[in-house]
């Protein structure tokens, strides 16, 4: 488990552990009383690509496909695929034996390219001396699920009696208010949360659930807001 340095609305802070919440397993798929197992098989080879067929039979190679199936490599197609490796190709299809230089492309709200630059190193900010803290943005749980798309959920867990009292108190406060609260990083508490170097920036919303001495303090992560499409004239 990893640590997050968090402070509540009263500026009480603590380092606590967190772990990913795994979704429930999907229903078991069964056919004829037996479990269904998914396998990957080779469906095509390089010789079956459009470029290869055009070189061998011309651009209009439809009759060749019907007459002789030249796109099928009967020695390879249908073989099970167990392990794969990433291979970088140049625009001409040649194999690159060294990873290409990565360029960061910044896009504007309209989707147009604004800038190209070398990737900027983004550090993690959830274990800094300055804790992530509660913001002023709060919303009811029923409103949050309609306004935000939550992609991940982390659970904050205690390691001793002191952190139990601390996290249980946070969860109880949120559960009684039936609210989620936005938490942010940085000196202002408004920066998005980054959990690892060059990781995805997230907006984090704390949700609490309490059942007597038991509690759950969940950190819902989102980087997408749900909006109705603009009406078409």
User: Do 126 and 209 reside in the same domain of the chain?
Assistant: yes
CATH at 172: 2.40.290
Instruction: Reply yes or no on whether the pLDDT at 198 is more than 90.
Output: no
Would you state the pLDDT for residue 142? Answer: 92
Taking the C-alpha atoms of residue 20 and residue 1, their distance in angstroms, rounded to an integer, is 9
pLDDT, tens only, 153-163: 999 999 899 99
User: Do 152 and 220 reside in the same domain of the chain?
Assistant: yes
Would you state the pLDDT for residue 226? Answer: 79
User: Do 161 and 209 reside in the same domain of the chain?
Assistant: yes
* 220 φ/ψ sector (left φ>0, alpha ψ -120 to 50, else beta): beta
User: What is the number of domains present in the chain?
Assistant: 2
Instruction: Reply yes or no on whether the pLDDT at 233 is more than 70.
Output: no
User: Do 8 and 60 reside in the same domain of the chain?
Assistant: no
User: Do 52 and 126 reside in the same domain of the chain?
Assistant: no
Taking the C-alpha atoms of residue 28 and residue 173, their distance in angstroms, rounded to an integer, is 39
Taking the C-alpha atoms of residue 30 and residue 17, their distance in angstroms, rounded to an integer, is 39
Would you state the pLDDT for residue 60? Answer: 84
pLDDT, tens only, 72-84: 888 888 899 888 8
User: Do 7 and 73 reside in the same domain of the chain?
Assistant: no
Is 91 among the domain residues?
A: no
Is 165 among the domain residues?
A: yes
User: Do 148 and 64 reside in the same domain of the chain?
Assistant: no
User: Do 188 and 214 reside in the same domain of the chain?
Assistant: yes
Taking the C-alpha atoms of residue 205 and residue 144, their distance in angstroms, rounded to an integer, is 9
pLDDT, tens only, 103-154: 888 888 788 899 998 888 888 999 888 999 998 899 999 999 889 999 999 9
Is 87 among the domain residues?
A: no
Is 74 among the domain residues?
A: yes
User: Do 126 and 218 reside in the same domain of the chain?
Assistant: yes
Is 34 among the domain residues?
A: no
User: Do 139 and 188 reside in the same domain of the chain?
Assistant: yes
Is 95 among the domain residues?
A: no
Is 52 among the domain residues?
A: yes
Length of the chain: 233
Is 175 among the domain residues?
A: yes
Mean pLDDT of the chain: 88
Would you state the pLDDT for residue 83? Answer: 86
Instruction: Reply yes or no on whether the pLDDT at 170 is more than 90.
Output: yes
User: Do 140 and 213 reside in the same domain of the chain?
Assistant: yes
* Residue with the larger pLDDT of the pair 216 and 65: 216
User: Do 8 and 66 reside in the same domain of the chain?
Assistant: no
Q: Which domain holds residue 65?
A: 41-78
């Amino acid at each position: 488990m990893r640590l997050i340095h968090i402070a509540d609305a009263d500026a009480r802070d603590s380092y606590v552990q967190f772990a990913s919440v795994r979704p429930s397993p999907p229903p078991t798929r069964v056919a004829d009383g037996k479990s269904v197992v998914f396998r990957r098989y080779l469906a095509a080879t390089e010789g079956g690509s459009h470029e290869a067929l055009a070189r061998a039979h011309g651009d209009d190679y439809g009759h060749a496909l019907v007459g002789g199936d030249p796109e099928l490599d009967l020695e390879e197609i249908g073989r099970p695929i167990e392990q794969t490796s990433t291979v970088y190709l140049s625009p001409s299809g040649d194999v690159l034996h060294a990873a290409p230089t990565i360029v960061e492309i910044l896009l504007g709200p309209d989707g147009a390219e604004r800038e190209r630059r070398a990737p900027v190193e983004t550090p993690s900010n959830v274990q800094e001396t300055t804790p992530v803290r509660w913001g002023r943005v709060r919303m009811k749980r029923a409103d949050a699920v309609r306004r935000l798309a939550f992609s991940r959920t982390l659970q904050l867990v205690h390691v001793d009696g002191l952190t139990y009292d601390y996290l249980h108190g946070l969860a109880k406060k949120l559960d009684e208010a039936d609210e989620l609260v936005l938490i942010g990083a940085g000196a202002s508490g408004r920066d998005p949360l980054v959990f690892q170097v060059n990781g995805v920036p997230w907006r984090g919303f704390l949700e609490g659930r309490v059942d007597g001495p038991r509690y759950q303090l969940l950190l819902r992560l989102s980087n997408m807001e749900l909006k109705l499409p603009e009406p078409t004239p």
